Amino acid sequence: MDVLLRLLWMLGVLLVGTGLRGVGALNASRTDRLNAATYYVALPSLVFVATYDRSIADLLSGALVVAVLASLLGTAAVAWLLHRNRPTARRSVAVVQSYHSNLGYLGLPLVAATFEPDVTALASVVLGVALLVQVPLTVTVLSTVNGAETSVAREASALARNPVLIALVAGVAIGAAGVPVPVVVTSGLDLLGSLVLPLALLCVGASLRVDLPVTDPGATGSVLALKLGLAPAIAWLTLSGFGVGSAALAAGVVMLGTPTAVSTYVFATELGGDAEFASRNVFATTVASIASLYAIIGLIG
């Protein structure tokens, strides 16, 4: 019941963000500032606090890294086959939105609010590994299918400067070296990290478009089935097959079972994808994920 109430609270905050945008309280500039506070401050703080006091052996294992990569690429391959006959701009979006998860703004904060700290630490690693795959793969698929020009060097540079990855590397390095971190610092970062979920939900809610017509329900339904059904199932089978522990299994399945990331809409707009279709799918998967995540967490226990 606690999990259900938490997920319903999440949906409520999402809708508050959407409502605030509708009445003009969360306009574009305010949403950008809120997003910056979440992305550059709160989320890196959560990642660092989750990892700084753990050894590399506790966090990194070849089985976890390979299983996450196999899960993402396996879901992408199935999506490519399923959506291969759709119109070009829509096909590219359907493929990327079937595997590209909202790991930072929904996945990690949800894990931190629901599971023990060791699961949150491993979810931070899943976030880091997936970021290194999701973004380059999404840019490659969209630019290749739509014939759009992009800069690989620019994307690589953006990843290298990603504050979440920097916080993860810093946390792992400090944990490996056994360097003590002052309590006042960790307490402050812990407080900032606790703000990720409400801030991120408001940002996501302010980005959702609820007024778009459903012009291709079959395609949207396929994205829903793949993202919220097949993706976590593949993650479960893959992680179990590689023999990861229960904490890593919970972290991986919940993280990869999160809805489609809002950033896929941004990438689709920049790289020739069907932007309206992308926006509609972000909304559909986000709302439907309340039920699917409840089921996933219940099965994981």
pLDDT of residue 214: 67
Number of domains, the chain = 1
Percent residues over pLDDT 90 in the chain:
77
The per-residue pLDDT for range 227-268, each reduced to its tens digit, is 999 999 999 999 999 999 999 999 999 999 999 999 999 999
| Average of per-residue pLDDT across 30-39 | 94
Percent residues over pLDDT 70 in the chain:
98
pTM here? 0.92
| Better-predicted residue by pLDDT, 152 or 60 | 60
| pLDDT over 80 at 22, yes or no | yes
Confidence of residue 125 (pLDDT cuts 50, 70, 90): very high
| pLDDT over 80 at 210, yes or no | no
Range of the domain at 59: 2-300
Name the 3-class secondary structure at 101. strand
CA distance 2 to 172: 31
CA distances from 116 to 55, 125, 292 (A): 17, 15, 21
Query: Which long-range CB contacts under 8 A does 16-20 form with residues at least 24 apart?
Result: 16/202, 16/205, 17/201, 17/202, 17/203, 17/204, 17/205, 17/206, 17/207, 17/208, 18/205, 18/206, 18/208, 18/210, 19/205, 20/202, 20/205, 20/206
Q: What are phi and psi of 162, to 5 degrees?
A: -65, 120
Q: Judge contact between 260 and 100, C-beta under 8 A.
A: yes
pLDDT of residue 1: 57
* CATH number of the domain enclosing 154: 1.20.1530
Confidence of residue 152 (pLDDT cuts 50, 70, 90): low
| Average of per-residue pLDDT across 281-294 | 93
